[in-house]
Structure 1
Amino acid sequence: MGILSRASYVVRSKLNAVLNSAEDPSEQLDYSYEQLRDQLQDVKGGIADLTTQKKRLEIQKRRLEENVEKHNDQAREAVRQDREDLARQALEKKKQKMTQIEDLESQIAELQNTQDQLVEKKNTLQGRIEEFRTKKESMKARYEAAEASTRVSEAMTGAGDEMEDVSRSIERANERTEDMEARAAAMDELEESGAFEDALSDKDQLDRELESLSSDREVDAELETLQAEMGADGGSETASESASEEVESATTEVDATSNGANGGSDESADPAVEAELEELQNDEDT
């Protein structure tokens, strides 16, 4: 599996995990992004190793090229010294070195080609990682916005767990308040009816009823006394008025009789009449 394929597989698997997991998507996206960055670092490490190997081959090639030049000089010197055998040996070594240089050049070219491919893939992967980072931040922002909107909606509608607890607390407080208000009203009603006084008294219902009857009898007796007193006073006044009227009537009759008998003179008054008048007068004064 190639590097890009592996990276793509990691991205897809992590995105699927985000969709299917109950965990925070932001954490999953961050984890996926870090995994891609690790993959990129691995690619960069591979390119660095490849470049190092290529540099070693290039150094070895330069050394071989220096040897080739050295063998050329040896062959020329041997020819000047009429040492054909030495010149031949030098040229053979030169040829060997040239063959090695050709092999190295081929290896170096392959390494360079691989390096170029890896660098291109590295750049592509890095671009995709940057694109994923942008999408990741966008998705995180969308998720956080949706989460905030959900919390606000739950707070406004009371659909959240915390708001349900608050609603239940308010309901319980309201019920307790209503119970306390009803209890206070009941206490006021009992106090007005005198139930508290009865409750504090050690007398039972029979004692209270007997006391009520006794009190009623005392009131009736006192009322009768007042009525009797008022009736006695009224009778005395009526008797006095009647006695006065009788005295005046008797006096008038006596005067009339005396005048008729004596021709209008009162010298011959009847002692019995006078005595009766005196008695009536005394009764009136009494």
Structure 2
Amino acid sequence: MSNSNSSRVRTIFRAKTTKALDRIEDPRETLDDSYDQQVKLLQQVRRAVAEVATAKKRIELQGEEMGARYQRLGSQAGEALAQGHEDLARAALERRAMIEGQVAKLQQQFAALDRQTAQLQERERRLTDQVAAFRIEKETIKATYTASEAQVRANEAVSGLSSSIQDVGSSLDRARDRVAQMQARAAATDELLASGALTDLTATPDADIERQLAAVSAQADIDRQVEAMRRGGPGAARPGEVAGGWLSIGRSGE
């Protein structure tokens, strides 16, 4: 395998490997997955805030109800004592004392939930800001990656075009060499045919004999002209003189 073929095979292999790796881990997909996970966490925090707020509201309603009962028992104790029913007054006050203890516990729970709500709301706020910032960064990175990917593909296309042009140039050089070789071969065969070293299969039968006879006849005609000039007899043309002008050239024997 030639060096150019080996280089082409390595280039194709690297391109296929790169495409396979890109399919396995696309940073844009990774960023989208991370963003989705953060959004899910933010939703969980918001649900937790809503649940804590709901629990806080229930305790608040229960506290208001117990507070109203506490006030009512106090009024009942006063009325019972005013009517001379000390035992009923004591019973009402005992129940009010028990409610007071329960209200104290509700107050503690309410305060704890209030602090928890404030903490969760602060976490939700920070997480919301972080998710928003991450989204902007994610889209920026994705856009940059997409632009870089397009540039890489364009560069690869230009590189492939350059390689193709080089291959075309090599093909043209080989074609020129073959044409030059064929022209030289044609000229050589023409010379061989003219010298008789090769047989012209397209020529008529006995063409070589006809050529030889024509040459002998031409030589005999020249000999006759020379002999006539020596004798100087009538009708003998002098050198450079043509009887009858140019129209009679070649017609002396007619």
| TM class, shorter-length | 0.5 to 0.7
CA deviations 1:48-107 (Å, max 9, x no partner) are 111111111111111111211222232233234322222222221111112111110111
**Relative contact order, CA 8 A, sep 6+: which one is greater?**
2
TM-score (norm 2): 0.64
Flag the 1:103–1:236 CA change in 2: closer, same or farther, 3 A: closer
Using the alignment, how far apart are the partners of 2:211 and 2:200 within structure 1?
21
| Structure 1 residue 217, shift from structure 2 partner | 3.9
- Which residues of 2 match residues 10-29 of structure 1 at below 5 A? 23-29=25-31
CA RMSD between the two structures: 3.8
What is the total number of aligned residue pairs between the two structures?
A: 207
Q: Which runs of 4+ in 1 moved over 6 A?
A: none
Residue 263 of structure 1 is matched in structure 2 by none
Using the alignment, how far apart are the partners of 1:55 and 1:164 within structure 2?
69
The one-letter code matched in structure 1 to 2:168 is A
- Which residues of 2 match residues 197-216 of structure 1 at below 5 A? 201=201, 211-212=207-208, 214-216=210-212
CA deviations 1:213-248 (Å, max 9, x no partner) are 65134322332134225524752628xxxxxxxxxx
| Structure 1 residue 183, shift from structure 2 partner | 4.7
Using the alignment, how far apart are the partners of 2:114 and 2:141 within structure 1?
40
Residue 70 of structure 1 is matched in structure 2 by 72
- Which residues of 2 match residues 97-176 of structure 1 at below 5 A? 97-148=99-150, 150-151=152-153, 155=155, 160=156, 162-176=157-171
Using the alignment, how far apart are the partners of 1:234 and 1:216 within structure 2?
27
The gaps in structure 1 that reach 5 residues or longer are 1-20, 239-286
Using the alignment, how far apart are the partners of 2:167 and 2:148 within structure 1?
33
| Structure 1 residue 188, shift from structure 2 partner | 9.3
1:190 correspondence with 2:186: yes
Using the alignment, how far apart are the partners of 1:60 and 1:190 within structure 2?
115
Using the alignment, how far apart are the partners of 1:178 and 1:166 within structure 2?
18
1:224 correspondence with 2:226: no
2:233 is paired with a residue whose SS is: helix
1:237 is paired with a residue whose SS is: coil
Residue 241 of structure 2 is matched in structure 1 by none
- Pick the structure with more helix per residue: 1
Using the alignment, how far apart are the partners of 2:229 and 2:136 within structure 1?
120
Using the alignment, how far apart are the partners of 2:147 and 2:123 within structure 1?
35
Residue 37 of structure 2 is matched in structure 1 by 35
Percent of residue pairs bearing the same amino acid type? 28
Residue 242 of structure 1 is matched in structure 2 by none
The one-letter code matched in structure 2 to 1:227 is D
Using the alignment, how far apart are the partners of 2:233 and 2:126 within structure 1?
139
The one-letter code matched in structure 1 to 2:129 is G
Using the alignment, how far apart are the partners of 2:211 and 2:147 within structure 1?
84
